[in-house]
């Protein structure tokens, strides 16, 4: 397997409504900086991998725009769509292309323009087939809609279970949210910026569904991200300090809250996230990382809701199970901490769904390149872990990046 380098990273501005551009123009804003900073042009690109959640905008076959708007004229193109993990799955597709030797330099991009669409309708199209039996056998649809209205429905169950298992409190979620809002304020690409946000500010927001408050949730964003990946023999000529892909894995479990087609689910504990641990173990092994608690310098887990900061810090094996709240209290996850976590402000601050998981890789790459600007971690970042979450909290993707390519 060949080493793969990230040599270019571009992101659009993220806001709640971009009325001034259409979808392909929004993506262009992320693609163009990749060419500008690397000095490459579309003729240097061997293939294009793209992705979003077409059901969210109601516009299918977005790869139609690839040739004209995104620099993919007369190139092989591939689209990948996997829900919340879309952006990372797209990046994985591009990494496979370069690692396998099929192509040398690949442009990969992911996006969502949620303001054009109807995300609730899109989510319905994800869940409705599974509720078919609930309709047919006259289940109590009110319970289902009341308690699963929107993506938050599943996560409240996870948060309550995590509180019971770890002993942490809603106060932890308030403080985690405040940290992420402050980090986002330092990130030029972030959407929801609240400099000076405090745990008290978050605690003052209304309780939506116990135990999650409005201040624990993510916004809906319009935005795009793009990266140029290339092989080791080309990377040095393009970038002074590329970020290297060292390991990657994805893993799917059965749904955690309602079984497929109304049947029972064997994945009874939504906080377990075995698929995350499995993927993390595999990715660390590929990266030659034996002890992630010591060897990982920075983490960008996929955190659309505040409690997930603790769950995924643990499931990415960055500490012992149940230790995350204590480590958070000690400042370990701060930008200046020993293991800065989501210095970007996380998905909780910026969520253009299809783009979100690729942005976790992009943020790790910027940190390794030393180009994150105001939200650059205080410590030197040699190895970082990026994570994506999707489905009914049952599908996890992990990518390990580093400042040196794998050897041996």
Partner 1 sequence: MDKKEHISVPGQWPLSSYTWKTERFLDKYVEGLKEKKILGLKCPDCGTVYSPPVSICAKCHTRMRLGEEADWIRVSEMGSVITYTVIYTDVAPGGLKDLAPEERRFFALIQLDDVDTHFLTELKEVSEGEISVGMRVQAVWVDEPQGALSDLAHFVPVEWSI
Residues near partner 1 (CB under 8 A) are 19-20, 58-59, 121, 124-125, 128-129, 132-134, 136-140, 143-144, 146-149, 156-158, 160-161, 164-165, 206-211, 254, 257-266, 268-270
Three-state secondary structure call for residue 198: coil
Q: In the complex with partner 1, which residue's Cβ is closer, 204 or 268?
A: 268
Closest CA to 328 of 152, 166, 158, 154: 166
* Distance, first Cα to last Cα, the chain: 11
Q: For 42, phi and psi rounded to 5 degrees?
A: -55, -25
The helix (H) or strand (E) run that includes residue 402 is strand 395-402
Bridge partners, residue 24, by sequence: none
Closest CA to 166 of 54, 12, 320, 293: 320
Shortest separation between residue 177's beta carbon and partner 1, angstroms: 17
Q: In the complex with partner 1, which residue's Cβ is closer, 129 or 204?
A: 129
Q: In the complex with partner 1, which residue's Cβ is closer, 100 or 145?
A: 145
- Cα–Cα distance, 55 to 122 (Å, whole number): 5
Collect all residues with Cβ–Cβ distance below 8 Å to 392 and sequence separation of at least 6. 154, 255, 256, 257, 258
Shortest separation between residue 84's beta carbon and partner 1, angstroms: 20
Q: In the complex with partner 1, which residue's Cβ is closer, 73 or 207?
A: 207
Shortest separation between residue 79's beta carbon and partner 1, angstroms: 18
Q: Which two tokens stand for residue 69?
A: 């708007």
Q: In the complex with partner 1, which residue's Cβ is closer, 73 or 121?
A: 121
Q: In the complex with partner 1, which residue's Cβ is closer, 253 or 297?
A: 253
Dihedral angle, C-alpha 115, 118, 123, 125, nearest 10 ° = -140
Shortest separation between residue 147's beta carbon and partner 1, angstroms: 4
Q: 68: exposed, middle or buried (C-beta count within 10 Å: 0-12, 13-18, 19+)?
A: exposed
Dihedral angle, C-alpha 131, 137, 139, 141, nearest 10 ° = 50
Shortest separation between residue 17's beta carbon and partner 1, angstroms: 10
Shortest separation between residue 125's beta carbon and partner 1, angstroms: 6
Q: In the complex with partner 1, which residue's Cβ is closer, 20 or 290?
A: 20
Shortest separation between residue 156's beta carbon and partner 1, angstroms: 4
Shortest separation between residue 58's beta carbon and partner 1, angstroms: 4
Q: Which two tokens stand for residue 221?
A: 């964003």
Three-state secondary structure call for residue 136: helix
């Amino acid at each position: 397997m060949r080493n793969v380098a990230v040599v270019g990273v571009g992101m659009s501005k993220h806001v709640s409504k971009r009325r001034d551009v259409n979808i392909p123009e929004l993506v262009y804003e992320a693609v163009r900086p990749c060419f500008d900073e690397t000095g490459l042009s579309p003729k240097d690109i061997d293939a294009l991998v793209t992705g979003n959640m077409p059901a969210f905008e109601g516009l299918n076959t977005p790869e139609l725009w690839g040739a004209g708007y995104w620099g993919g004229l007369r190139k092989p193109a591939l689209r990948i769509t996997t829900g919340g993990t879309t952006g990372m799955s797209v990046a994985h597709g591009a990494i496979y292309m370069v690692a396998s030797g099929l192509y040398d330099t690949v442009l990969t991009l992911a996006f969502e323009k949620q303001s054009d669409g109807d995300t609730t309708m899109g989510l319905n199209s994800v869940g409705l087939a599974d509720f078919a039996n609930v309709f047919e056998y006259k289940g109590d649809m009110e319970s289902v809609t009341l308690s699963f209205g929107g993506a938050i429905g599943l996560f409240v169950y996870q948060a309550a279970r995590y509180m019971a298992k770890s002993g942490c409190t809603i106060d932890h979620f308030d403080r985690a949210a405040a940290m992420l809002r402050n980090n986002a304020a330092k990130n030029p690409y972030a959407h929801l910026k609240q400099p000076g946000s405090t745990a008290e500010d978050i605690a003052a927001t209304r309780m939506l569904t116990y135990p999650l408050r409005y201040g624990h949730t993510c916004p809906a964003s319009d935005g795009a991200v793009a990266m140029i990946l290339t092989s080791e023999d080309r990377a040095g000529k393009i970038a002074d300090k590329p970020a290297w892909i060292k390991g990657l894995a994805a893993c799917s479990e059965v749904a955690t809250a309602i079984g497929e087609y109304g049947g029972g689910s064997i994945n009874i504990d939504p906080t377990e996230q075995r698929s995350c641990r499995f993927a993390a173990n595999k990715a660390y092994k590929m990266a030659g990382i034996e002890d992630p608690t010591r060897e990982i310098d920075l983490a960008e887990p996929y955190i659309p809701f505040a409690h997930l900061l603790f769950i995924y810090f643990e499931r990415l094996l960055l500490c012992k199970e149940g230790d995350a709240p204590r480590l958070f209290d000690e400042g370990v996850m701060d930008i200046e901490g020993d293991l800065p976590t989501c210095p970007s402000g996380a998905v909780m601050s910026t969520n253009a769904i299809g783009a979100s998981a690729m942005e976790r890789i992009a943020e790790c790459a910027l940190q390794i390149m030393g180009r994150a600007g105001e939200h650059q971690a205080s410590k030197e970042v040699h190895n970082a872990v990026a994570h994506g979450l999707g489905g009914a909290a049952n599908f996890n993707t992990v990518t390990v990046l580093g400042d040196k390519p794998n050897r041996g």
